[in-house]
A and B are shown apart, each in its own frame.
Chain A
């Protein structure tokens, strides 16, 4: 009930905004028929508003809140001088607009690339490689606490192990994919295809959700059909 009330209150207080939002949505949908000037206008508004929004957001969140209030804090707090390092690197990044000294912008870029690589290297290695390899090393036959075989779990474990092994065989190119090895690679291909299919299905669901969100807005919030 609270949801319905919230929707009605919002509707009455934001009618003009909602009207424009609906028009922009319909304008973007018009591309499905064919490219047209209305779509171009809506697209340009979206790009402009997004750029403006992000510019203001980054300015206040990073430059004002993080840097300015960090180095010139309110009474009682001590300034964080390390922030100057980030500010100088940020300024150097802007030098790329100059033809003469644009090369200096490579320094902060190198710092970002190096720091990010260093930060991610170990984390990826541990979480995405070591831990997941360890999880794959599972007993194929799963037992319950009373030592009876859990057939469904056993089947699941078998599929995981088979998928990993045959998938790795498929990507092993130092040996020709022939005979038993070739069969393994073929099975690996099926696993990959099923994975891509599942991934595509999820992508369809994701994109449909966006369409559902917009239609729900048009029919519910704007037209008030339900």
Chain B
């Protein structure tokens, strides 16, 4: 007996409506009728809204560029020090927040000592929200200052990076709550960023991953991974694999990492996966855009052929 889930029905209905609509548009366009741009907007809206409502998910497999980050965190010995910088704002959050959540979970479940910070003032509130609402509820046994610490936001952009590359405590004498770093166990033996086993920057603006590479990790040869908004991803590839060990580009990168994580950790197999969920609407919206590009080209070449004949 064929059993269809709610999301399967949703996917079938969505595909049928989109296919029928695109067919109709192609027919109208071939007849030479103008297509209003708002019709395109409606299609994009439908192709995005429907997978969100029906919670349509597609399976993802981690590619080498994402898997290398996963493997690095997974293979570091327990108690390794990882620095994660949240260099993003609410506008970028739908893309990079899933990365921040899954990276935080992965680092903590492996027993690493995690330092969270932000170079963006708007990243401060997101950092607090992500840690307190999404990561820590799954790790009640983890203790602040021993397993993780939040340094918060520090103004100064590249200036902050330039200083912490050589002297961490000069720029961050205290943590987010005003506790001196000298009294925080995680910072025992930490003089500069070189004392971290891995640095991860999640963002897509300036200062962000690129500045981390230029000012901190490349000159000091520190292992670096980046999670970036998709629009920045192409700019990151020249740094891979020598200057950054891995790249998570947009929600696709986040979804691949989530897929690898839930596949390997039984405890998190039912966790909410915003990256994978976002790939449903992404896939359908991209399909619709590709269809429109094809329709546009068909119309263009037919028109050119007609003009050449006449």
Contacts and interface: CB of A to CB of B under 8 A. Distances in A.
Given A2-B138, A199-B234, A209 B251 contact: yes
B49 interface: yes
A6 B155 contact: no
Contacts, number: 126
A2 to B, nearest CB: 4
Contact of A226 (B55, B213, B249): B55
Contacts of B137: 2, 5-6
Interface in B263-303: 270-272, 278, 281-282, 285-286, 289
Contacts of B215: 123
B95 A204 contact: no
A203 B289 CA distance: 13
B91 A212 contact: no
A183 interface: no
A131 B48 contact: no
Contact of A208 (B91, B153, B249, B281): B281
Nearest to A62: B155
Contacts of A226: 52-53, 55
A127 B218 contact: yes
Interface stretch (B72-80, B142-150, B225-233): B225-233
Contacts of B286: 201, 204-205, 208
A180 interface: no
A94 B48 CA distance: 47
B134 interface: yes
Given A2-B138, A209-B95, A219-B53, A127 B230 contact: no
Contacts of B45: 215
A127 B243 contact: yes
A126 B213 CA distance: 11
Contacts of B251: 205, 209, 212
A33 interface: yes
A61 B91 contact: no
A135 B237 CA distance: 12
B60 interface: no
Contact of A209 (B49, B234, B282): B282
B169 to A, nearest CB: 13
A209 B153 CA distance: 25
A206 B41 contact: no
Given A202-B230, A202-B249, A206-B231, A127 B52 contact: no
A215 B52 CA distance: 8
Interface string A115-142: 0000110011011100110110000000
A205 B153 contact: no
A95 B28 CA distance: 61
B95 A206 contact: yes
Contacts of B204: 206
B162 A212 contact: no
B181 to A, nearest CB: 14
Interface in B168-222: 204, 213-215, 218-219
Interface string A207-223: 11111110110011000
A131 to B, nearest CB: 6
B125 to A, nearest CB: 11
Given A32-B41, A62-B155, A119-B158, A213 B230 contact: no
A225 B94 contact: no
A101 interface: no
Contact of A212 (B48, B239, B271, B289): B48
A16 B234 CA distance: 40
B231 A203 contact: yes
B242 interface: yes
A38 B225 CA distance: 43
Nearest to B132: A6
A205 B282 contact: yes
B234 A131 contact: no
B141 to A, nearest CB: 15
Contacts of B93: 213
A209 B94 contact: yes
B8 interface: no
Contact of B48 (A1, A132, A195, A215): A215
Per CB-CB distance, the 3 closest pairs between chain A and chain B, nearest first, are: A213-B94, A2-B137, A206-B231
Given A119-B162, A212-B282, 10 more contacts: A3-B133, A3-B134, A5-B137, A123-B218, A202-B250, A209-B230, A211-B44, A219-B53, A220-B52, A226-B52
14 contacts: A2-B138, A3-B134, A4-B272, A127-B213, A127-B243, A131-B243, A135-B242, A202-B234, A208-B285, A212-B281, A213-B93, A219-B52, A225-B53, A226-B52
